[in-house]
Structure 1
Amino acid sequence: MKAVVQHGYGPPDRVLALEDVAVPAVGEGEVLVRVRATGVNTPDWLTVGGVPRILRLQAGLRQPKAPVRGSDVAGTVAAVGPGVRDLRPGDEVFGSLWTKSIAAGAGTFAEFTLAPATQLVRKPAGLSFEEAGASVMSGLTALLAVRDVGRVGPGSRVLVNGASGGVGTFAVQIAKRLGAHVTGVCGPGNVEMVRSLGADDVIDHTVEDYTRGPQRFDVVLDNVLNHPPAATIAVLRPGGTFIPNSAGEAKGLLGGLPRVVRAKLARPRTATVRSVECDVTRENLDALSALLASGEVKVIIERSYPLADAAGAVAHMATRRARGNIAITVR
Structure 2
Amino acid sequence: MKAVVQDRYGAPEVLRIEELDRPAVRDHDVLIRVRAAGVDAGVWHTTAGKPYLIRLFGFGLRAPKQRTPGRDVAGQVTEVGAQVTWFKPGDEVFGTTLEGSFAEFTRTTEDRLAVKPETISFEQAAASPISGCAALHALRDAGRLRAGERVLVLGAGGGVGSFAVQIAVALGAKVTGVASTSKVDFVRSLGAEKVIDYEREDFADRPERYHLIVDTAGHNSLSRLRRVLVRYGTLVIVGGEGGGMLLGGFGRSLAAPLASVFVRERMIGLMSEEDQPALETLREMLASGSITPRIDRMFPLEEAGGAIEYLHSGSPRGKVVLTV
Decide whether the 8 Å contact of 2:25 with 2:107 is kept in 1: yes
Q: Does 1:326 align with 2:302?
A: no
Amino acid at match of 2:53: I
Aligned-residue CA RMSD (Å): 1.4
The equivalent of 1:149 in structure 2 is 142
Amino acid at match of 1:37: A
How high is the sequence identity, in percent, across the aligned residues?
A: 44
The equivalent of 1:28 in structure 2 is 27
The equivalent of 2:63 in structure 1 is 63
Distance 1:245 1:154 in 2: 21
The equivalent of 2:84 in structure 1 is 84
Larger deviation: 239-248 or 176-185?
239-248
Aligned counterparts, 1:208-223, within 5 A: 208-223=201-216
Find the residue that maps to 2:108 and give its secondary structure.
strand
Distance 2:44 2:143 in 1: 27
Deviation at 1:29, TM superposition (A): 1.1
Q: Does 1:43 align with 2:42?
A: yes
Aligned length: 322
Find the residue that maps to 1:27 and give its secondary structure.
coil
Distance 2:233 2:245 in 1: 33
Aligned counterparts, 1:95-110, within 5 A: 95-97=95-97, 105-110=98-103
CA-to-partner distance for each residue in 1:158-191, whole Å, 9 max, x for gaps?
A: 0000000011111111111111110000000111
Larger deviation: 273-282 or 239-248?
273-282
Decide whether the 8 Å contact of 1:46 with 1:250 is kept in 2: no
Distance 1:191 1:226 in 2: 18
Find the residue that maps to 2:61 and give its secondary structure.
coil
Decide whether the 8 Å contact of 1:51 with 1:251 is kept in 2: no
Larger deviation: 265-274 or 309-318?
265-274
The equivalent of 2:113 in structure 1 is 120
Closer/same/farther in 2, CA of residues 87 and 54 from structure 1, 3 Å limit: closer
The equivalent of 2:267 in structure 1 is 273
Instruction: Pick the aligned partner of 2:299 from 291, 300, 305.
Output: 305
Find the residue that maps to 1:232 and give its secondary structure.
helix
Deviation at 1:293, TM superposition (A): 0.9
Larger deviation: 319-328 or 35-44?
319-328
Distance 2:243 2:6 in 1: 19
Decide whether the 8 Å contact of 2:237 with 2:252 is kept in 1: no
Distance 2:274 2:249 in 1: 25
Deviation at 1:303, TM superposition (A): 0.3
Aligned counterparts, 1:217-236, within 5 A: 217-236=210-229
Closer/same/farther in 2, CA of residues 161 and 47 from structure 1, 3 Å limit: same
Find the residue that maps to 2:26 and give its secondary structure.
coil
TM-score computed with the length of structure 1 as normaliser: 0.94
Decide whether the 8 Å contact of 1:185 with 1:204 is kept in 2: yes
Deviation at 1:251, TM superposition (A): 5.2
